[in-house]
Amino acid sequence: MAAALPCLSAVHAQTAPQTQPATTNGPVTSMDAIRVEASADASAGGLSAPFAGGQVARGGRVGILGTLDNMSTPFSVTSYTNELIQDRQAKSVGDVLQNDSGVRVARGFGNFQESYFIRGFILSSDDVAYNGLFSLLPRQYIATELFERVEVLRGASAFLTGSPPSGGGIGGVINLVPKRAPNEPLTRVTTGVASGGQFLASTDVARRFGPDDSTGIRINAAQRSGDTGIDDEHSRTSLVSLGLDWRSADTRLSADIGWQENKLKRARPNVTLARNVTVVPDAPDASSNYAQPWSYSNERDVFGTVRAEHDFSDKLTGWAAYGFRRSDESNSLGNVTVTNGSTGAAQFSRFDNVREDQVDTGEFGMRANVKTGSVGHQFVASASFFQLKKDNAYATGGTRQTNIYDPVSYYDAPPLTNVVGNMDNPSLQGRIQTSSYAIGDTMSFFEDRVLLTAGIRHQRLSSRSYDYNSGKETASYDASHNSPAAGLVVKVSPSVSLYANYIEALVAGDTAPATIATSSGSGTLDVVNAGQSLAPYVSKQKEIGVKYEGEYFGSTLALFTTDKPRAYTDLSDLTFKEAGKDRHQGVELNVFGEVTRSVRLLGGFTWLDAEQRSTGDPAINGNRVIGVPRFQSTMGAEWDIPGVQGLTVDGRVVYTGSSYANAQNTLKVPGWTRFDAGVRYMTDVGGHTLTLRARVENIANRNYWASVGGYPGSGYLVLGGPRTFSLSASMDF
């Protein structure tokens, strides 16, 4: 066993290329002839090498600037590795991001879609990127078997990535890196069980072949199925994905295709607080379930990408990429609204929905490395497009009474009384189209010790909405904007970098409502410019920070401020206009790496002051933004047990401060702390690596509201999960 253990890390994660830190003159990759290293996206640089401890990488994708070393990047980026994903037994993107102190996982409005608070701004899973292209993976739930790494680019990113199609990206974007075949053959089989009887079976197979192993193939298949730790809740997720890559001396190609089906039965819904509620209800028992027995949510997705990169010379490289997604969703839900916060009295209404998505997106660009005197330049130019075609229909039914502390679950499904569109054949309801062009230059001075990046992106945003029944266009939006950016890195020493940036985010402006409630709430008034779309909202971010990376330990400290415009109807002239803003100011500290050879840390803290300003309503001016705590922290530690080779224990504490469920800040949701722990053992069995993992989350079985909101302006509550056990065994053949 002792002889085998030094090799475990090689089979535990993909092999990374031996890449020098990226500079403006491009990465330098060592290859024996056409010896292939694991490559994320048909790029010469490949994956960034893991940092000491293996939980995060030394860099990540920074939009059109490509994959950069963390110390050469004027932005805050964290790339979580597949090693961390496996060791934490993460099932989804949200499970991985529980390790990030600057991110909190929430849920979509009225459904089970994952949403993410990054620096206090909401990013929906619609706006997650896959290999640099937005909205390709399943929009409600993305299983971890589909990706190699989770990259978090914190802060606004209009110049770097373009605007995410669903209007997120103000606080940051998430990019998922696809899996590629490593240099050594891989055949891994994993089985597992979890609380409630949830069962996992998966396989991961990869091979390289052809001259100099220039061609790679990697196949992943998995299924999770069974009851969960929540009473009477059942889920089943099935998936298959195929990743291909090929390279020659000057050309690199990659392609991915995947299928995922996610089925939920009696999944516990969100809790909305009625307008008359004056107190936030205490969190019910974490195992309880107030979903109705007839409720369900199903989603099926097929998706794929293809990417090519070609070196026209040693100084000029071009790339092109295309991706698609085809999705079908259907659900029947009984969403809960609490009418009395003290007693937990509530009601639910039936809501059925069918939706079909067609996404097509792509990009192409060029990079050039040149020198003018002593100054190095890395020029980049790119163009991109995105289109979403959405077919939709929905229906509503009657309302019934229940209680979140004593749920009533014997009702039959209320009959549908209002059907909008054709539930058997939904028609076109909306289109979203974006296109953009970007240019940038990263200049290097004083032998790459000072790096200055400047660029601009011109982006067009367009959307159309159509009547569910007649198909007639009911609303349209078409606007464009130029988004500049600037970033500076000063390398004080090989282990310390100072950085600063100015960058913007761009989202479509709101559309004026038809009416507005009177101040007394007794009636409504007509809005003068009803149906008018406002100009795109431009969020402006300023950030400074310092990065430290020693041989084994690293940290990043960032101070930032971001203004997000908002709109309201001015009661003096009944005109809907852009006015006021939400200002998010904060401090982030992240730590990672090895404290000693046997102890690893990962985590940090985030302090946020998210304030509503000049809102047009004196009752909310100066109040905190819905769902955003002042302080949150995550800290995880791993310890290799001395004397027992291959045995490691880990612990994690997650703290989230109190927040508010309404803009008036009268409904305060208590903060919470959760403790998680795990143990794993790696050994050799007959020449094969066996990894056993056990984990428990929410050790104290605490009852808590895990998130507040997840959709702009809404303060619904999501109950945290109960104490949950999971066990798995992986064998590499």
Is the distance from CB of 585 to CB of 608 less than 8 angstroms? yes
**H or E stretch at 325:** strand 316-338
Closest CA to 371 of 449, 455, 438, 445: 445
Residue 499 sits in which domain range?
A: 5-732
pLDDT in tens, 201-235: 999 999 999 998 999 999 999 999 999 999 999 99
Is the distance from CB of 286 to CB of 721 less than 8 angstroms? yes
* DSSP output for 586-636: EEEEEEEEEEETTEEEEEEEEEEEEEEES-S-TTTTTPBPTT--SEEEEEE
The pair of structure tokens assigned to 502 is 């100015």
Q: What is the 3-state secondary structure (H, E, C) of 419-463?
A: EECCCCCCEEEEEEEEEEEEEEEEEEECCCCEEEEEEEEEEEEEE
Residue 182: which CATH number?
A: 2.40.170.20
Parallel/antiparallel/unpaired status of strands 496-507 and 473-493 = antiparallel
Alpha-carbon gap, residue 625 to 117, rounded angstroms: 12
Distances (CA, A) of 74 to 80, 222, 247, 334: 19, 38, 31, 46
Alpha-carbon gap, residue 17 to 30, rounded angstroms: 8
Q: If DSSP codes are grouped into helix, strand and coil, which group holds residue 144?
A: helix
Question: Which amino acid is present at 614?
Answer: S
Question: Which amino acid is present at 432?
Answer: I
**Bridge partners of 363?**
321, 384
Q: Where are the beta strands (DSSP E) in 95-168?
A: 103-107, 114-118, 121-124, 129-130, 133-134, 149-154
* DSSP output for 692-718: EEEEEESTT----EEEE-SSTT---EE
**Vertex 179 angle, CA 173 and 183, to 5°:** 135
pLDDT of residue 9: 36
Is the distance from CB of 331 to CB of 296 less than 8 angstroms? yes
How many CB atoms within 10 Å of residue 175?
26
Backbone phi, psi, residue 464, to 5°: -135, 140
pLDDT of residue 519: 62
Could you give the number of structural domains in the chain? 1
Question: Which amino acid is present at 314?
Answer: D
Q: Which residue has tokens 């390289």?
A: 208
Alpha-carbon gap, residue 454 to 431, rounded angstroms: 33
**Vertex 407 angle, CA 401 and 413, to 5°:** 60
pLDDT of residue 58: 96
Is the distance from CB of 153 to CB of 97 less than 8 angstroms? no
The pair of structure tokens assigned to 287 is 């195992």
Question: Which amino acid is present at 389?
Answer: K
- What is this structure's pTM? 0.92
Distances (CA, A) of 504 to 165, 362, 542: 16, 22, 9
* CA-only gyration radius of the chain, Å: 25
Is the distance from CB of 199 to CB of 192 less than 8 angstroms? yes
The DSSP letter of residue 365 is E
Q: Which residues have C-beta within 8 Å of that of residue 106, sequence separation ≥ 6? A: 114, 115, 116, 117, 122, 627, 707, 708, 709, 710, 718
Which residues of the chain have a pLDDT value below 50? 1-38
Question: Which amino acid is present at 391?
Answer: D
Is the distance from CB of 262 to CB of 92 less than 8 angstroms? no
pLDDT of residue 521: 58
Alpha-carbon gap, residue 525 to 516, rounded angstroms: 5
Tell me the CB-side half-sphere exposure of residue 233, using CA atoms within 13 A.
20
pLDDT of residue 528: 87
The DSSP letter of residue 519 is T
Q: In angstroms, how far apart are the furthest CA atoms of the chain?
A: 80
pLDDT of residue 34: 43
pLDDT of residue 41: 62
pLDDT of residue 619: 83
The pair of structure tokens assigned to 108 is 């979509």
Buried b (16+ CB within 10 A) or exposed e, 306-336: bbbbebeeeeebebbbbbbbebbbbbbbbbb
